[in-house]
Each structure stands twice: as C-alpha cells, then as structure tokens.
Amino acid sequence: MILRSLSASAVLLLGACASSSIPDSNPSSLGGAGFRNYDQYEAEQKRRDALLETRREAAMRQEQMTEEQEIAAETLGALNISDEQVANAPAAAEGTQVAAAPSNPDISDEQNFDAVSSRESIESDAERLARNRQTYQVAAVEAVPENPGSTGPNIVAYALSTTNPVGTALYDRRGKFDEGKYRRACAEFGSADQAQIAFLEGGGPKRDRKGLDPDGDGFACFWNPTPFRSARGG
C-alpha cells in the first residue's frame, strides 16, 4: 500500500515538471534592472555619458568665465575704472564721432596709386623725367682741405713712417731711468696723442728734453702707432 502511494506521488511530480516551462536563457530577452533588454541598457549608458560630458564642459566654461571676470576686475581696478563707466562706455561710444584726419599737403602721396593716377599720365612722367635730366649736375670732386688750425707735427704721418715695435730702442737715452719723473711728465698731458705731439715738437724722436721717451723707441708716454699702421693695412 505504501509503495503504491509513493509511486503515485512520483508520477504526479513528473507530470508537474513536464507541464512547467523552461526559462529562456537568451540575454536579449532578459530584462535587467529596469531595462527590457541589453540594447536598451547600452543606449541608456551612452545617454548618461553624453549628459555627464555636457555638464563637465559647461562647468569648465563657467570656470573660465569666472577667471576672465576676475582678471577684468583686477585690470579695471588698476586703471581706476568703475563698473558704471564700463556700462556707459557703449553709449558714449555711439555718441562719439571720430574726427577725420586732417590733410597735410607736406606729406607725399606718391605711394597712393589712386592719387597719382588721377593727376599723372605716361606723357607727364616723360616730361618730368626730361626736365630732371636737364637740371641734373655732376659735382666736381675736390680734395679735402687741410685744417688751417693744425700747425704742429702730424702724428699719423709719423706713425706710418715708423716700423719698429713699441719698446724697441732706436735712440740713445742717457741717464738713469726715473719712474716717478716719467709719470709726472706724462701726467701734464690729457692724452697720449698730446704727449706725442709735444715730444715731436721738442725735438723728438732723436731728442727727449722732457723725459717723455725714456726707452728710446720714439714713442712718448704709452703712445702706440699700431692703430694707425693697422688702418693703412700694414
């Protein structure tokens, strides 16, 4: 009796299983959390991403505008310009008329094609060129006059007439060299050129009455003929 009851129960269970439907495992037919299928989920995700990107760009633009406003405020503050003056600037600009630049007859308009073409032609250019050729004169080349105020020795000519290096003794200078006396003598002149002129006027280079050339090279008080020689190319 017991075996018949168990058999009947097993038959009923198998019938129940056979009558129930098997769940569909196709993901496209499954609804997610609030979605009918996966395609709808992807579309919604893209919409969210686009919305977030739009909000992010708007925030960046707002931040940039804020920075520009702060910079403008600092600039206006440095220039002592009030917000009221800035607000009234467009209205003032509308009522302001820009004065035309005054014409200046002294300024040439030869670079303005319209201005030149309105008054000149090929014939007038040819006539003007002929007139310029008639009045053209070639100035004769004249020699540079000598300076009448310069009657002393020419140190340039003297420098070019020498070939010995500075410090090479060519002239006899007897007596003991006195450094102090030499510097005091040179200190009387404002430059080495002036000292060389005085040295040549006093009988140099053979004679040195003032002690300006103690080494006997013919050059007084640190005067150097090298720059003049170099200018000549020698």
Q: What are the average pLDDT values for consecutive 10-residue runs of the chain, which has 234 residues?
A: 51 49 48 60 83 84 79 66 59 52 63 75 84 80 60 88 90 84 92 93 90 92 91 72
Q: Would you give the end-to-end CA distance of the chain in angstroms?
A: 146
Full-model pTM = 0.38
| Residues 163 and 211 sit within 8 Å (Cβ to Cβ) | no
pLDDT of residue 30: 47
pLDDT of residue 133: 84
Q: What is the CA radius of gyration of the chain?
A: 54
The Cα 146–Cα 156 span in angstroms is 14
* Two structure tokens written together for 91: 């209205």
pLDDT of residue 85: 62
The 3-state secondary structure of the chain reads CHHHHHHHHHHHHHHHHHHCCCCCCCHHHCCCCCCCCHHHHHHHHHHHHHHHHHHHHHHHHHHHHHHHHHHHHHHHHHCCCCHHHHHHHHHHHHCCCCCCCCCCCCCCCCCCHHHHHHHCCHHHHHHHHHHHHHHCCCCCCCCCCCCCCCCCCCHHHHHHHCCCCCCCCCCCCCCCCCHHHHHHHHCCCCCHHHHHHHHHHCCCCCCCCCCCCCCCCCCCCCCCCHHHHHHHCC
pLDDT of residue 98: 47
pLDDT of residue 157: 92
pLDDT of residue 226: 92
Residue 49 phi/psi, 5-degree rounding, is: -60, -40
> 96: buried, middle or exposed (CB in 10 Å: 19+, 13-18, 0-12)?
exposed
| Residues 192 and 227 sit within 8 Å (Cβ to Cβ) | no
